[in-house]
Amino acid sequence: MVNVPDSLIDTFATRFGQAPEVIVRSPGRVNLIGEHTDYNEGFVMPVATEQGFWVIAGRRDDGLLAVRSEDLDQAGEWDLAQPVPPHKGLWSSYVRGVAAVLRAGGYPIGGTNLLISGDLPVGSGLSSSAALEVGTAMALLTANDAGAQVGERVNLAHLCRKAEHEYAGVPCGIMDQYACLMGQEDRAILLDCRSVSHALIPIPADWRIVILDTQVKHSLASGEYARRQKDCRRAVEQAATVLGRELKSLRDLDEATLEAVAGRLEAVAGRRARHVVTENARVVAAGEAFRQGDGVRAGQLMYASHASLRDDYEVSCKELDLLVEIASQVEGVYGARMTGGGFGGCAVAITTVDGAERLQAAVIRLYNTVQPKPARIILTGASDGAKVWRIG
């Protein structure tokens, strides 16, 4: 049954003068391995987190979208018939963008009240944006009886990604929205971003997932993300010229082929390509290591992923490097790496049960007492994707 906090139900009723009709729980995601591969048609292996957002909804008959973010203590009301101006970094752009994309897609979204609140850190590389988009989409579709028309969840992931591109100005891949929708308890999602289909990989019951949030966000993040995409496109063009055949994306290169052409690519493009091509191989190998319960192997792959992101893709930062370095010294930690887009945000570690305790103690002692900003330690587990309850 839905275990939404009573206080949120009360707030919704007081704020909007109606009982809630729909409740959605939308998780975040933490990517265990496979970074900056999704927009290169590669492999990723995220889990949906235990942390996420509640989105509570009820219909209204005046054609307005009224939204309150409880955590930000902000609210707004907009006429759904009016065009939505794109706005980078504004939380309401995600909500309004999703409504606009659904309406443009022919889904009958009418006036709706939405209350949003959650326990997922925002802007930390745990997909708060996707959690918000997916939660909003499911709430709007269900409240307006359009849920069935959206068809399968993969379609919903594409629509939410479109909203992020067009209204929040972030040219993200498909990983985040897909993970928020397709997560499953105790399973990692090995997603092939070319076919947009996945296999579920069991996570051994005695493994733990520990997230270490640096709580820093370096300002270059958004510009650098787009620049990395450009670097990858350049690498594809250059490799295609050298090979004399058509290449659609870096997914079309294996390690041996890349090695053969590497010397003829421009240096930066070559490094970016090497990260993506080796990372794809690491994700596939990690899926196997998880299946076999081989924590040591899975951990080695995570450390190698971090080194590649730091040295070849250049999206790490000193805080993340330090946390991964600390984790690597702790007994019972299988592996650790930065997770998400980079330039701050979170690292993720896979540990034994005792290792999780020891890692927390080590981070407090060796990082939090030394660094200007302490790392927030978040224990999580693989959860189900977004869920919806119709209650009214």
Listed ranges 30-38, 93-101, 136-144, 361-369: which one lies at the site for ligand GLA (CB under 6 A): 30-38
**How far apart are CB 29 and ligand GLA at their closest, in Å?**
9
Q: Between residue 173 and residue 192, which ones bind ligand GLA under the rule CB under 6 A?
A: 173, 175-176
Closest to 151 in 3D by CA, of 105, 218, 88: 105
Residue from 21, 38, 213, 312 touching ligand GLA (CB under 6 A): that is: 38
**How far apart are CB 341 and ligand GLA at their closest, in Å?**
4
Q: Binding pattern to ligand GLA, positions 283-322, x when CB under 6 A? A: ----------------------------------------
Residue from 135, 270, 299, 340 touching ligand GLA (CB under 6 A): that is: 340
Q: Is residue 160 close enough to count as binding ligand GLA by CB under 6 A?
A: no
DSSP β-bridge partners for residue 187: 184, 202
**How far apart are CB 2 and ligand GLA at their closest, in Å?**
28
Q: Can you tell me the distance from the alpha carbon of 228 to that of 223, in angstroms, rounded to the nearest whole number? A: 9
320 neighbors 4 (Cβ within 8 angstroms): no
Closest to 338 in 3D by CA, of 212, 180, 187, 170: 212
Per-residue burial over 89-110, b if 16 or more Cβ lie within 10 Å, else e, is: ebbbbbbbbbbbbbbeeebebb
**How far apart are CB 64 and ligand GLA at their closest, in Å?**
30
231 neighbors 269 (Cβ within 8 angstroms): yes
Active site residues: 176
DSSP β-bridge partners for residue 138: none
Q: Is residue 35 close enough to count as binding ligand GLA by CB under 6 A?
A: yes
Q: Is residue 341 close enough to count as binding ligand GLA by CB under 6 A?
A: yes
Q: What is the DSSP string of 201-223?
A: EEPPTT-EEEEEEEEEE-TTHHH
Chain positions contacting ligand GLA, by CB under 6 A: 35-36, 38-39, 172-173, 175-176, 340-341
